[in-house]
């Protein structure tokens, strides 16, 4: 599919999360100190939308059961049970457009 615009930089302020849909796939974009990261929005534990969770540094915490993922890689950071990592995506910024490569 290639690169797809998911947001404007003004839509994703530092320290915030933004949910986008690409061909029916829910993608989460995080802004950590002006750098953008993208991964699947669905928690691999119970299917919650991670965009409804919180971002602290580069750690996203799921609002349902507290699973924590590193938004830079999609890797599980902390949870009492073994669950899958998230798929992460390459992000680029051109002008004020945020692109995700899918």
Q: Model confidence over 11-50: pLDDT tens digits?
A: 999 999 999 999 999 999 999 999 999 999 999 999 999 9
pLDDT for position 34: 96
pLDDT of residue 60: 98
Q: State residue 65's pLDDT score.
A: 95
User: Does residue 5 have a pLDDT over 90?
Assistant: yes
Is residue 69 over pLDDT 80? yes
pLDDT at 1 over 90: no
**CA–CA dist 81, 72 (Å, integer):** 21
- 92 CB neighbour count, 10 Å cutoff: 11
CA dihedral 70, 74, 76, 78 (to 10 degrees): 20
- Domains of the chain in start order, with CATH, are 3-101 (2.102.10.10)
């Amino acid at each position: 599919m290639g690169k797809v615009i998911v947001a404007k930089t003004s839509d994703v302020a530092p320290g915030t999360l933004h949910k986008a849909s690409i061909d029916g796939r829910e993608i989460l974009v995080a802004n950590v100190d002006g750098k953008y990261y993208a991964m699947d929005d669905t928690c691999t534990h119970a299917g919650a939308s991670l965009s409804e969770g919180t971002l602290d540094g580069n750690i996203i915490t799921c609002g349902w059961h507290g699973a924590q993922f590193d938004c830079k890689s999609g890797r599980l950071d902390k949870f009492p049970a073994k669950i899958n990592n998230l798929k992460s995506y390459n992000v680029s910024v051109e002008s004020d457009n945020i692109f995700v490569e899918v």
